[in-house]
Structure 1
């Protein structure tokens, strides 16, 4: 069967301020879509991938008109839902016989609402898509409806039907590797400036799920009943070696925390070094799961940077979001990573339930005290499917505009703060952190190549606009 997998058209300015987009925008490889594509290819289907990051809406429609797929899968986040609906509507208008499904974080979280929002959408994949999507195509090829397929919500004669959930995939080694061959030019898929050393960059996930229950984090396994499902070290290494054969020079591991299993993380690092694989890599980890020996092993295996979710400089607020860490653990992890020779990234959040403006200022002070190489300052966002979203009345108010749901706009405002205060804190944080003379001197001193220079220029351009302009961070919807 002819299949088209689509990410609707978007531009950086849809997410970031037009004056700061250059230093923040990233084009990640869409791993979930590529896993589904690989499963469809393995099942014998013909698959095309249309990525709206690099195509206009009209270009996507033209490709669909030429290809005439029988099955279409559209990926959607919360902020991209309106674009997903527009894409589905326009495709259905010109290609009515196509069966259109949607998947991704937003449809998974509010599946029945999605079907009621758009008559052009025939079904929602309500969990992991590799097995479910293949089963949908099996039914379509036989002319049979979707009754009984686990992990699907669908419309039948105008009625929305929600089938039973599908059990999460436990044997991740059984899945074919993501179909990166569908991406086209690999160099197009690059993370934000200053977050990679070499191109092209591949993305790999070595495990799925998370044991933690952070208030703001979306997981398909909403209640964390399945814990973390790991791929074997050998399976991960096989994918790394395949990426290197395909020409990739750097890998970004996008596990929530690569160090969730300490011994396994150490095993991955040691195996990379043992095989003498030539690539650089970047990973994320929780501050209470690492120590200097592990971080040194990462460094020796080619890791150049580590991200720690610091989130707040006030212990009360870390407790409120159930982060499960202490400020001292963050201090120790950052110190150990620096001593191991790693570049350190730390994101922070403003607008945490119960947080005050003065506490936000303390978070900025904490960021400056930690002095990571890169810090980012986001607005906490109540994505559908998170506990924050499910308990809004308890915590605060939410924007009426889904395009605010990007970590950039203040989609959520706690009862203890105003929307304007959140925007002000973000602006103060970026200005204060990145305009410190010592920090600026260090950044200039560590420029090593053209990529470093380009990243620095984009960063300085963003910093200039932060200094010159007020209200850089967009605020669109009304609060409900």
Structure 2
């Protein structure tokens, strides 16, 4: 559906600008449908208005329409499905994505224009669904699907997760159009265009705020072979991409495999830069140096809080000292370090949030973000809301910026105020500003610094940046 990235990553903050990442999950599904012999058209609501999407869909006259939806985007997804149905009575409309996966048949109860929702990984489910529809075979027993049968909503059994990730075709990036339209936040890349790649699926950790299809973590992490990952990287380079952003939940969960990947990238001598994500307790100086030597220029490592009690509440499984060590080691070997933090953790007080801001300044990463903790459906936080705090009824608040969740220990305006304090303090430090100025080497560095300065001015000039009633 049509959406505006500004709604999620406003330009008027110090570290988040426009955010056009490639929709990797949708491109995997599209690739599987293409491989099965179907004609596929991809419409991205980041670049099209609602009316343009409906008009383009009507011109294309599809037999089948798939709509991706997050929690934040559910109302737009419903509107899109409704308007497609009004224009095209016979098209079969399916929704997928995190929100439909979490709510399953509940989405069909809420959106009468939908015929079905995918309740897990979509590649095999949609290929089988289209095969059945084309042959007139009933949908009962089709694993991974909830569907409408007359006035009833039927939830079929879940589909097993895909074990052999190497068997999947590479994401259909050729459907994106101009790859350079997908411009990530300026400070998060060195070269353009940027391709998003995932070398594994799943996570074996149990953070209360993280959505996973495998709720019980029964499958743990499913890995692609190093050779398969390298073939995709080479494929991206042939398509013209010059940087890779790995979006694995943690690239270093298997230390030996992460080291092997870095060594193979270096051995092949390919011309690209890359960005990694990892958990602080899974990296050391040796691995970080191997990343750097293979062309990695930056790493994101979740810090979340500067108070151990609150890390324990989140079930992060890490310590403050592990965070300090990982950030220090990454900086020492020459990597840029990105560290996200959370405000509004269950049980967190206003004073503890200030300690987290102090901790962020102590760590002194190259970039820090301060998100509102968000209770996305399908997470333990969402399932235990009465125990942890209160929640907004407006799904449009379900972004990292919207303060959808408020713990019993602080107010919603407190969260918004603390976020503004955090951005102001972190990005206004003289040492940070001087270091950024001295690091300018290229025109891209100038652009990043200019946008950062604009965000910093907004943080100081507009006191109610995150809410019109901010204040204590």
For 1:243, what is the secondary structure of its paired residue? helix
* 1:144 CA drift (Å): 2.2
For 2:186, what is the secondary structure of its paired residue? coil
Q: Does 1:437 align with 2:427?
A: no
Q: Does 1:252 align with 2:245?
A: yes
- 1:145 pairs with 116, 132, 138, which one? 138
Q: Does 1:120 align with 2:93?
A: no
Residue pair 1:17, 1:474 contacting (<8 A) in 2 also: no
Residue pair 1:23, 1:458 contacting (<8 A) in 2 also: no
Q: Does 1:196 align with 2:214?
A: no
Residue pair 1:404, 1:475 contacting (<8 A) in 2 also: no
* 1:21 CA drift (Å): 9.3
For 1:49, what is the secondary structure of its paired residue? coil
Report the more deviating stretch, 345-354 or 442-451: 442-451
**For residue 5 of structure 1, what is the aligned residue in structure 2?**
none
Q: Does 1:361 align with 2:361?
A: no
Residue pair 1:88, 1:100 contacting (<8 A) in 2 also: yes
**For residue 41 of structure 2, what is the aligned residue in structure 1?**
48
**For residue 459 of structure 2, what is the aligned residue in structure 1?**
466
**For residue 392 of structure 1, what is the aligned residue in structure 2?**
385
**For residue 79 of structure 1, what is the aligned residue in structure 2?**
72
- 1:457 pairs with 430, 450, 453, which one? 450
Report 1:107-186 matches (<5 A).
107-186=100-179
Report 1:57-456 matches (<5 A).
57-456=50-449
Deviations 1:320-372 (A, max 9, x none): 00000000000000011011110000000010000000000000000000000
Question: Which stretches in structure 1 are left out of the alignment for 5+ residues?
Answer: 1-7
Deviations 1:404-458 (A, max 9, x none): 0111011000011111111111000000000001100001111121222112111
TM-score normalised according to structure 1 size:
0.96
- Superposition misfits of 4+ residues, deviation over 6 angstroms: none
* 1:24 CA drift (Å): 2.5
Counterparts of 1:275 and 1:86, CA distance in 2: 48
Residue pair 2:11, 2:18 contacting (<8 A) in 1 also: no
Counterparts of 1:329 and 1:192, CA distance in 2: 28
Residue pair 2:108, 2:148 contacting (<8 A) in 1 also: yes
* 1:158 CA drift (Å): 1.3
Give aligned pairs, total: 469
* 1:471 CA drift (Å): 2.3
Counterparts of 1:76 and 1:474, CA distance in 2: 26
For 2:269, what is the secondary structure of its paired residue? coil
Q: Does 1:33 align with 2:26?
A: yes
Counterparts of 2:112 and 2:412, CA distance in 1: 35
**For residue 3 of structure 1, what is the aligned residue in structure 2?**
none
